[in-house]
Amino acid sequence: MGVMNRVIDTNAHVENLKCDIYVDRGNAIAKISFSNLGFGDITAIKFNACGFNSFGDIVFVNGREKFFLIIQDLVIAKNENATELRAVLPDANIKKLDLEECQICYADGSVV
């Protein structure tokens, strides 16, 4: 059996971030899931996102490589999993999405 390396971001507030893209009525939709690491109940999350087309080329949004993807009006309890959160993407040519946690709003009003 081979050695498996696991990288852990000690500053992260979510883990197991997954994203699938599908098309619905001409819109690219991201289906996102992640685990809340337990700092509090999450009410909104903002990601830095970079989209790619089928060929792996970056899809520019408003002339930029990256854009914010915001999901609001959530209630993800601490130590729970968010599953199948949906967000409409700004360009239907996006077939793959790289996401990085940017900001999180918690139920107590704090933002990190």
Tokens of 19: 């994203």
Phi-psi region of 27 (alpha: psi -120 to 50; beta: other; left: phi over 0): beta
Q: How far apart are CA 99 and CA 47, in angstroms?
A: 6
Mean of the per-residue pLDDT values for the chain? Answer: 91
pLDDT at position 69, please? 97
Q: What is the mean pLDDT of residues 23-40?
A: 93
For residue range 43-86, list pLDDT tens digits in order. Answer: 999 999 999 999 999 999 999 999 999 999 999 999 999 998 99
Sign of CA dihedral 102, 48, 14, 12: negative
pLDDT at position 38, please? 82
E-assigned strand segments in 1-112: 14-24, 27-36, 42-52, 58-59, 66-71, 81-88, 96-106
For residue range 78-109, list pLDDT tens digits in order. Answer: 999 999 899 999 999 999 999 999 999 999 99
Q: What is the mean pLDDT of residues 12-31?
A: 93
pTM metric for this prediction? 0.84
Phi-psi region of 19 (alpha: psi -120 to 50; beta: other; left: phi over 0): beta
